Chain A
Amino acid sequence: MAKRIDVSDLDIFYGNFKAVEGVNVSIEPRSVTALIGPSGCGKSTFLRSLNRMHEVIPGARVEGKVVIDGQDLYGSDVDPVDVRRQIGMVFQRPNPFPTMSIYDNVVAGVRLNSKKMKKNDLDDLVESSLRGANLWNEVKDRLDRPGSGLSGGQQQRLCIARAIAVQPEVLLMDEPCSALDPISTLAIEDLMTELKDRFTIVIVTHNMQQAARVSEQTGFFNLNGVGQPGRLIEFNPTEKIFSNPDQKATEDYISGRFG
């Protein structure tokens, strides 16, 4: 299921403003790739360009190539809606649908797309997705309750369950733990380690320990100054980045000298 992502010469724009410039990177399947860097250097922007969520913003556009298993995501015959079905996303702030129960939130991807499924299959999907998101035991007795009644950490795991229920190939996570307490954070980190057997995971994080704990590869984004585009400065195995990075800037950043 999991797929490899090849990005070449990617420039990302908001209107006339070039937010990210010249990204070249290969993201391995069945692994966790972490993106780190100071605020505003374009990590979220880059992440959102991987499943064509970037262009949802008016005026936003992309130049360059993102190839997933040989298919160019930005090819003229590619439907962004199909891309997003293959590449799921978890956002910084938990955003369960407030009108839906926990059950309906998990199957939202199926229901909203009006796919027909038997009740039994739906039940199985809900259970397996919630188990996958380590939430099943906490909510199995109240599946018909509103999703917005859960705690922040539970809501975020509900959103992960919702994302994996559509069985994407890739899972993108934009600072999924930044609004959560340490216990919930740990739960989600454990979850990532389990999920990487099945998915390619790309995670943006501000937490260096987190990147070190969960990821195999780490990319460091930086920008030269305000108004300049962000760049991928270094991309290496996580161990190397955190022990002897190639770039001076990377070392400065992870040793806390700026950022």
Chain B
Amino acid sequence: MSTATPVRPEAPEPLAPAVRQRRGLPRFGGTAVFAAGLALAAVLTAASGWSWGLFAVLGIVLGCLVTYVVSRVVEGRRKATDRLVTALVSSAFAVAMVPLVSLIYTVVSNGVGRLDGTFFSNSMVGVVGEGGGAYHAIMGTLIITALAAVISVPVGLLAAIYLVEYGKGRLKKVLTFFVDVMTGIPSIVAGLFAYALFAIFFGPGIRFGLGGAVALSVLMIPVVVRSSEEVLKLVPNELREASYALGVSKWRTILKVVVPTAIAGLGTSVTLAIARVIGETAPLLVIVGITAATNFDPFDGRMATLPVYAYYQLTQPGVPPEFGIERAWTAALVLIIIVMALNVVARLISRFFAPKTGR
């Protein structure tokens, strides 16, 4: 159209050589400077009477400040901002780690003392003071959680499959909404629901393991539905179409293409849902109760479970109280170990079942 091509303004000749010499702190220089700020904070805190809270606040502020100033002087503004943000993010991470580390440290140091053979092989029958164990509570937790999984996994998976593969329109929206509502149900309400339900049939005062499994299922189903739904949505539509184009019916496509493709994610989501409910206390307190003896029968009578066991060992430790409190810590430790093991299992599942690309 026009012949005059726009003339670019002449770029000013760069004064510095094309590849600028990098001035910079040595490797780990940033960390070292931050540590210097931290040390300064330690000195100041010590001078005004030691307090961890003051040290943390002052340490982060001074650490970031010193890092910024030093980097600004040595390296220039862009790099200094980068270092400042890095320092802030790392500090935030460290602060977030404090409760976790402190919790694990407290539980391990208090609980490791009773992590012995007796704890895993004895129940609490006839124990008032020293000794005793949580064999009955560990078995109870495993039985009730397994039952809860047996109820929740089929229901949750089928609901997720319905929502992703079949559901449409109003019904799907309503179901999704109620699943979301269920996710927010307080656990004590789940316990009261199970209690009220079974009290209708068996009269007031009913306590048994299956009731606990039902209460846990109320908490577990929405978790399974939600996470399985996300996993199923990740299966590419192309695979479904490839299957349909081979003349495969819809339910076979779901069963043999969609679910196998998503199996790693589904396994992970189920395992994490189990980990989520295994430490629930309130509902089991209401509907399962506690007992000192071992009861393997979830259809009849009270059962002990680890969280409730820990609760009672702490609130009614017996005489003298130290031994009960020690058992409570150990029960908490065992619970944490179980949850961690479940998380490891979830990772292994997703590693071993993930579709392989043998390049």
Could you list which residues of chain A lie within 8 angstroms of chain B, going by C-beta atoms? 51, 53, 56, 58, 81-86, 88-89, 91, 93, 95-99, 108-109, 111-114, 145-146, 148-149, 159, 162-163, 166
Residue among B245, B247, B248, B252 with most chain A CB within 10 A: B245
The A/B interface has a contact count, at CB < 8 Å, of 86
Q: A95-B239, A109-B246, A112-B256 are in contact. List 5 more A-B contacts (CB 8 A).
A: A84-B244, A113-B246, A113-B247, A146-B356, A148-B356
The answer to whether B248 and A81 have CB atoms under 8 Å apart is yes
Q: For the complex, give the distance between the alpha carbons of A159 and B238 in Å.
A: 12
A34 to B105, CA, bound (A): 71
Residues of B contacting A145 in the complex (Cβ-Cβ under 8 angstroms): 358
Residue of B238, B257, B261, B357 near A146 (CB, 8 A) is B357
Is A148 a contact of B355 with CB atoms below 8 Å?
A: yes
**Does B252 contact A114, Cβ atoms closer than 8 Å?**
yes
Q: Please tell me if the beta carbons of A95 and B248 are within 8 angstroms of each other in the complex.
A: no
The contact size tier of chain B is 20 to 34
Check: B301 CB closer than 8 A to any chain A CB.
Answer: no
Asked if B91 lies at the interface with its beta carbon under 8 angstroms from chain A, I say: no
Would you list the 6 A-B pairs with minimal beta carbon distance, nearest first? Answer: A85-B247, A98-B355, A89-B245, A109-B246, A95-B238, A84-B247
Chain B nearest CB: distance from A92 CB in Å?
9
Please report the C-alpha to C-alpha distance between residue A51 and residue B261 in the assembled complex, in whole angstroms. Answer: 25
Which A residues are CB-close (under 8 A) to B243?
97, 108, 112
Q: Which of B239, B244, B249 contacts A97 (CB 8 A)?
A: B239
Contacts of B248 in A (CB 8 A): 81, 109, 112-113
B residues with CB within 8 A of A: 168, 236, 238-249, 252-253, 256-257, 260-261, 263, 355-359
Residues of A within 8 A of B245 (CB): 51, 53, 84, 88-89, 91, 163
A81/B357 in contact, CB under 8 A: no
B356-A95 in contact (CB<8A):
no
A sample of 6 inter-chain contacts (CB < 8 A) reads A53-B245, A81-B244, A83-B247, A84-B245, A91-B245, A97-B242
Q: Are A149 and B358 closer than 8 Å at their CB atoms?
A: yes
**Which residues from B are CB-within-8-Å of A91?**
238, 241-242, 245
Once A95-B239, A98-B261, A114-B252 are accepted as A-B contacts, the answer to whether A85 and B358 lie under 8 Å apart by CB is: no
| Residues of A close to B236: CB separation below 8 A | 95
Kindly state the separation between the CA atoms of A58 and B239 in the bound complex, as whole angstroms.
17
Q: Are A99 and B260 touching (Cβ within 8 A)?
A: yes
Q: Which residues of A contact B244 (CB under 8 A)?
A: 53, 56, 81, 84
Contacts of A89 in B (CB 8 A): 245
CB A88 to nearest CB in B, in angstroms, measures 6
A112 B261 Cβ-Cβ under 8 A: no
Q: How far is the CB of B171 from chain A (nearest CB, A)?
A: 14
Chain B residues lying within 8 Å of A88, measured Cβ to Cβ, are 245-246
